[in-house]
Amino acid sequence: MIFEEYVKENRKEFTDKVYKISTELGIEANWLMFVMWFESRLNPQAVNPISNSVGLIQFMPSTARSMGTTTSVLKAMDNVQQLDYVLSYLRPYKGKMKRWVDVYLAVFYPAAMGKSHFVITPDIVAKQNKIFDINKDLDISVKEIETVLRNQIPERYKKYFA
């Protein structure tokens, strides 16, 4: 499995659970690993100082509340425990994540999933995620997101994202 080297604890239990979750969701395990690597480098205690999002997929405080928990509780969990919340978050998108970029979009901006021409206009999401605004027009297109993500994939793993 790609990015396993970033899993610092419970590696076998964690990767086994990622496979199980991915099978349940009908996605490639490597796609989910990429999303967690991109968002947190697979660190369940990772915190974004701008948005206060935490964890493997960077749960926003409002998302945590909607899932019946808090970012503090999520941050206190180990990587295997937090995967239960990753599954819970992604479960509503089962069947809609057809490509690797859709798995990322389910986490980042679900309304854009499956829409190649979707554009996130200059709202707080666009302003806080300037990395994706390649042409600096204050709009973020799905194509820009895919380009930035693809450029972040280490060469040795690019074959999994054709």
The three-class DSSP label of residue 154 is coil
Say if residues 84 and 66 touch (Cβ distance below 8 Å).
no
Q: What is the pLDDT of residue 123?
A: 67
Q: What is the pLDDT of residue 122?
A: 65
CA atoms within 13 A on the CB side of 73: 11
pLDDT digit of tens for each residue in the chain (162 aa)?
999 999 999 999 999 999 999 999 999 999 999 999 999 999 999 999 988 999 999 999 999 999 999 999 999 999 999 999 999 999 999 999 999 999 999 999 999 999 888 888 766 676 778 889 888 888 899 999 999 999 999 999 999 987
Rounded to the nearest 5 degrees, what angle is found at the Cα of 68, between the Cα atoms of 64 and 74? 45
The three-class DSSP label of residue 120 is strand
Residue ranges covered by each domain of the chain: 4-161
Topology annotation, domain 4-161: Lysozyme (1.10.530)
